[in-house]
């Protein structure tokens, strides 16, 4: 029911073409997962999301725990039925919120006590609770509870986070009981190669169905990120999927694929879409710019998305300046489709041994900046 296999490899890098089989369908990797934090990709219906080519989406344990609650989701048929998405789903554990909501929590070896950002109520999250929530939600792939240290951060604090992550990982492994869900362990260690390797080796001793790389895209440079990944992925098992958490710039994805990463997630496609920025192979368009006022071109010639098939840049600019909600929706649809087009082309080039040519077909993957 759940399996992962590597089907081809790029001869000039560690990039690989794979297939992750789940109870809700197969995912061809490398793959990008749109983020549906509270069970919805912002402004996009499940049908529209499927039309972008998305194979799998991500939902957030912490936010769904706060509202409506895992018990409510389970009572309403589980997460897939609840949100109307019958393709695969991955849930993160809430561990990232230990980092992103640091001013609202207290961390100990037992777990984390949050002050809810919704209503101020005291909320506890620990490995066993995180597993119970994810079991009730019923995603195809779930994630072990971890601690994500910031960057920069004193080494002693990173070491403490690694040890806590490993302790929590073992507790998650022991608490996990659903055979129809794969559990991923999370590799922490900041920018320290030895701590990353230590964390990975001990997670493999515990034994997980896949391995996520956390604690990146939290303050380090692009080159620092790639250096860490290049040093880490050779120490992760080839037969297990690898997931880079929260990373989504096109250049980051391309370089990370070359190190051997299989799965990605990020809010960038929809966040940029809501703010009048459109991704294209050449770079990012600012739709509020006056140069688009009389432009009858689509956002990107050759794009198959609903937006590019039907609307001009001039119309989209008008929607944003008029503060019509359709503008963010249409631009988000295009951005999500752009990411799936990029990933599909990467998958096509890996077995052909021509991955490097993506830099000519999608120059944005080589750009130092978005613009």
Partnered with residue 243 across adjacent β-strands are 212, 263
Please tell me whether residues 236 and 291 are part of one structural domain. Answer: no
- Sheet hosting strand 122-125, strand order edge to edge: 105-107, 112-115, 122-125
Cα 274-87-262 angle, rounded to 5 deg: 80
22 belongs to a structural domain: no
pLDDT(368) > 90: no
- Give the position of tokens 């081809």: 8
Cβ-contact 190, 181 below 8 angstroms: no
pLDDT in tens, 200-251: 999 999 999 999 999 999 999 999 999 999 999 999 999 999 999 999 999 9
Output the average pLDDT for the chain. 95
Would you give the distance in Å from CA 235 to the centre of its chain? 22
State the Cα–Cα distance between residues 267 and 43, nearest whole angstrom. Answer: 12
Q: Which sign, positive or negative, has the C-alpha torsion 19, 23, 25, 31? A: negative
Domain end residue (candidates: 225, 241, 266): 266
pLDDT in tens, 87-146: 999 999 987 776 666 576 788 899 988 777 778 788 889 999 999 999 999 999 999 999
SS3 259: helix
Phi then psi for 297, rounded to 5 degrees?
-75, 155
Please tell me whether residues 90 and 215 are part of one structural domain. Answer: yes
pTM: 0.97
Please tell me whether residues 167 and 303 are part of one structural domain. Answer: no
pLDDT(173) > 90: yes
Neighbours of 143 (CB within 10 A): 30
User: What is the set of active-site residues?
Assistant: 92, 265
Please tell me whether residues 237 and 202 are part of one structural domain. Answer: yes
From the number of C-beta atoms within 10 Å of its C-beta (0-12, 13-18, 19+), residue 163 rates as: middle
Question: Which structural domain, as residue segments, surrounds residue 335?
Answer: 283-366
pLDDT at 42: 97
Please tell me whether residues 212 and 318 are part of one structural domain. Answer: no
pLDDT in tens, 317-342: 999 999 999 999 999 999 999 999 99
């Amino acid at each position: 029911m759940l399996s992962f296999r590597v089907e081809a490899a790029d001869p000039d890098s560690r990039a690989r073409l794979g297939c992750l089989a789940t109870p809700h369908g197969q995912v061809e990797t490398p793959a990008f997962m749109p983020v549906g934090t509270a069970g919805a990709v912002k402004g996009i219906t499940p049908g529209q999301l499927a039309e972008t080519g998305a194979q799998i989406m991500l939902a957030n344990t912490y936010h769904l725990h706060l509202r409506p609650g895992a018990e409510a989701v389970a009572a309403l048929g589980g997460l897939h039925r609840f949100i109307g998405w019958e393709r695969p789903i991955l849930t993160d554990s809430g561990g990232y919120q230990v980092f992103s909501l640091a001013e609202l929590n207290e961390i100990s070896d037992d777990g984390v006590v949050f002050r809810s950002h919704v209503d101020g109520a005291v909320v506890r999250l620990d490995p066993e609770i995180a597993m119970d929530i994810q079991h009730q939600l019923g995603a195809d792939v779930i994630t072990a509870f971890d601690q994500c240290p910031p960057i920069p951060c004193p080494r002693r604090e990173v070491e403490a986070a690694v040890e806590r992550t490993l302790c929590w990982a073992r507790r998650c492994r022991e608490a996990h009981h659903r055979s129809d869900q794969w559990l991923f362990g999370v590799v922490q260690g900041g920018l320290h190669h030895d701590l990353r390797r230590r964390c990975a080796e001990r997670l493999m001793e515990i034994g997980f169905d896949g391995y996520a790389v956390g604690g990146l895209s939290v303050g380090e440079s692009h080159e620092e990120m790639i250096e860490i990944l290049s040093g880490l992925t050779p120490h992760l098992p080839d037969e297990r999927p690898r997931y880079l958490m929260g990373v989504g710039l096109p250049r980051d994805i391309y370089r990370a694929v070359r190190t051997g990463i299989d799965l990605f997630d990020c809010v960038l496609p929809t966040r940029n879409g809501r703010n009048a920025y459109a991704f294209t192979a050449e770079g990012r368009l600012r739709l509020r710019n006056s140069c688009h006022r009389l432009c009858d071109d689509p956002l990107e010639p050759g794009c198959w998305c609903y937006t590019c098939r039907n609307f001009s840049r001039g119309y989209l600019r008008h929607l944003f300046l008029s503060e019509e909600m359709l503008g963010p929706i249409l631009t988000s649809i295009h951005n999500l489709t752009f990411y799936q087009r990029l990933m599909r082309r990467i998958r096509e080039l890996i077995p052909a041994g021509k991955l490097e040519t993506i830099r000519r077909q999608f120059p944005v993957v080589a750009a130092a900046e978005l613009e």
